Structure 1
Amino acid sequence: MLSRLFKNRRLPGGRRCAGARLLLALCLGLGGRGAAGQAVPYGHNPAAGHYLAVRGVRLYYEAYGAGPPLLLLHGNGGSIAAFKQNIPYFARHYRVIALDSRAHGRSADPGDSLSFEMMADDCAALLTGLRLDSAYVLGWSDGGITALLLALRHPGHVRRLVATGANLAPDSTALLPALWKQQQREYRANKGAAFADPARRNAWKIFRLDVLQPNVPLAALRRVRAPAFIVAGDHDLIVPQHTVAIYQHLPRAWLWVVPGSGHATLQEHAAEFNQKADAFFRAPAIPALAH
């Protein structure tokens, strides 16, 4: 849910591949660096990049590694590049599919509408287009919201999901009050003119997504069949009680509140995050919670 407008601000209280190209993509994904020792340009990697037309847009994604499919979903205003500390780890054991969400990165979207439901449906269409019946899903922030909605709307497509820094309401019951108030001020100050300016239209659409959405009743989570791992930092932008409530409403779930972490747990604590997410994906059957 973290908008590009806020990710650098401190808030009170916290803070297609074949042949040789496929081999190159696999090597890049495994080590995080190419043969010449250069850093992999995640999000702009021609050796791993693909486009797939689904639902009126051309979605851009990059593929790394081999194994069970793992779909990575970034946050608001972000791109595949957000996972540069995670892709090399997971590409050792998974077929990583890192996606630029609709209207983000290289997945251009000329429309005025944007919703988490649209993005969840995009993910389902992407997996179908790739001839994958299901995948593990890991989402950060808005990507975590999309992961939860994908499990709700297309349950057969999700094996297990990890959602870090996700919220299900766009208000002060879910967001830190300072962030919520700041978003409201920005929205009121710009809503009259932003869509009239072509240069600002897409950024405004993305920003408005987090001001007005998501609107998912917590009770709806009881319909999620896939096991879920809910993660947040103890200084996250999500109210701790909201994170716990998401966990409590899921039938089969793990919870990890990370000490000394903000909203970007998968970056700030990448090594531990990668290991714990991997352990969750590989764990034996996860029993239902007693509610």
Structure 2
Amino acid sequence: MTSAAPSGGPPIPDHVSIWGELADVDHELRHVAVEVSGVGAVRTRVLRAGAGPDLVLLHGTGGHLEAYARDIAGLARSFRVTAYDMVGHGWSALPDVPFTVDVLSDHLLGLMDALGIGSAHLSGESLGGWVVAWTAAHHPERVERIVLNTPGNVANKPEVMSRLVASTTAAVEDPSDEAVRARVRWLFHEKDRVTDELVNLRRSVYSREGFRRAVDNILVLQDPVTRARFSWDPSWVSFVTAPTLLLWTDHDPTGGLDEAQMLLDWLPDARLHVITGAGHWPQWEKPEEFVEQHEAFLDAATVRA
């Protein structure tokens, strides 16, 4: 999509750059020391914007907070938004420990403690959704409402796990434009939305010293034996009492609507919204709808009033 330039010149793309998305949004980017059980203090990169009820955004496997660059301005109209790089991801610290769901959940809770957030709405994409649901099940007092955005391979399909391991490992071992672009394009239905800026940002992350070891620690959740300890299952999912919005898409490469139905059956209070024309990153491909669904479900207008 584009919009006409005031001068009548070439049209302006709807997405110019990540900086362009944040250019008119008052925000703060800093690092915070977060205590994680069994790990210690983790230097954690955090972006915050807006005012209102707290909303914390969690990215997916191998990702970073820029996954939400196209949504922060819209969400900041209604919420105090916190986006961050999970431990072992982005430009947060890379301790040499397996980044299992419980460790990632402890990191989330430690960040909330460090920022003085007692409880919050949580929204997670892919791995982030898994961490959100786990946190809501095991620490319900810290959670208001949750959004599970393309939470990813709920059915534990081996072929999905193998593909994720292969593509991510290849991109980290060889963070060339070609390898990393292929990894990022996998997230999108409309492949032309993958920008050079986004690819090079991911290349920078994957080129960090120590990231080759970190990606092994990230991908432990794709090992069937390790995954079995945390796999989506009604034995723990049924303890999620927070009202839940499932955001699915019609082109998610990790799982179809049959998996959404599984979660609807297991979750005590859940509803489903399907975003059409998007892949695994609807927050990037369909940002207006993504923001609208958050505002409507989290009832921000009522809270503000």
Question: Residues 210 and 277 (structure 1 numbering): CA distance in 2 closer, same or farther, change over 3 Å?
Answer: farther
Judge conservation of contact 1:145–1:168 (CA < 8 Å) in 2. Answer: no
Question: After the TM superposition, which residues 240-279 of structure 1 pair with which residues of structure 2 at under 5 Å, given as runs?
Answer: 240-279=257-296
Match of 1:155 in 2: 140
Judge conservation of contact 1:140–1:165 (CA < 8 Å) in 2. Answer: yes
Question: Residues 183 and 96 (structure 1 numbering): CA distance in 2 closer, same or farther, change over 3 Å?
Answer: closer
CA deviations over 1:109-148 (Å, ceiling 9, x no partner): 2223110111112111221222221001111111111110
Whichever residue aligns with residue 107 of structure 2, its letter is: D
2:33 paired residue among 49, 52, 71: 52
Q: 2: CA distance between counterparts of 1:72 and 1:269?
A: 16
- Matched position secondary structure for 2:238: helix
Q: 1: CA distance between counterparts of 2:102 and 2:257?
A: 24
Match of 2:243 in 1: 227
Q: Which runs of 5+ in 2 are unaligned?
A: 1-17, 171-208
Match of 1:218 in 2: 234
TM-score by length of 1: 0.72
Q: 2: CA distance between counterparts of 1:34 and 1:283?
A: 24
Q: 2: CA distance between counterparts of 1:111 and 1:186?
A: 22
* RMSD of aligned alpha carbons: 3.0
2:23 paired residue among 19, 29, 34: 34
Q: 2: CA distance between counterparts of 1:143 and 1:219?
A: 20
The farther-off stretch of 230-239 and 140-149 is 230-239
Whichever residue aligns with residue 282 of structure 2, its letter is: T
Judge conservation of contact 1:235–1:262 (CA < 8 Å) in 2. Answer: yes
Q: 2: CA distance between counterparts of 1:220 and 1:206?
A: 22
TM-score by length of 2: 0.69
Whichever residue aligns with residue 48 of structure 1, its letter is: L
Match of 1:209 in 2: 221
Q: 2: CA distance between counterparts of 1:34 and 1:219?
A: 45
Whichever residue aligns with residue 23 of structure 2, its letter is: G
- Matched position secondary structure for 1:220: helix
Match of 1:120 in 2: 105
% identity of equivalent residues: 30
Count residues in correspondence.
237
2:70 paired residue among 56, 63, 85: 85
- Matched position secondary structure for 1:82: helix
1:67 paired residue among 40, 52, 62: 52
Judge conservation of contact 2:29–2:45 (CA < 8 Å) in 1. Answer: no
- 1:136 paired with 2:148, answer no
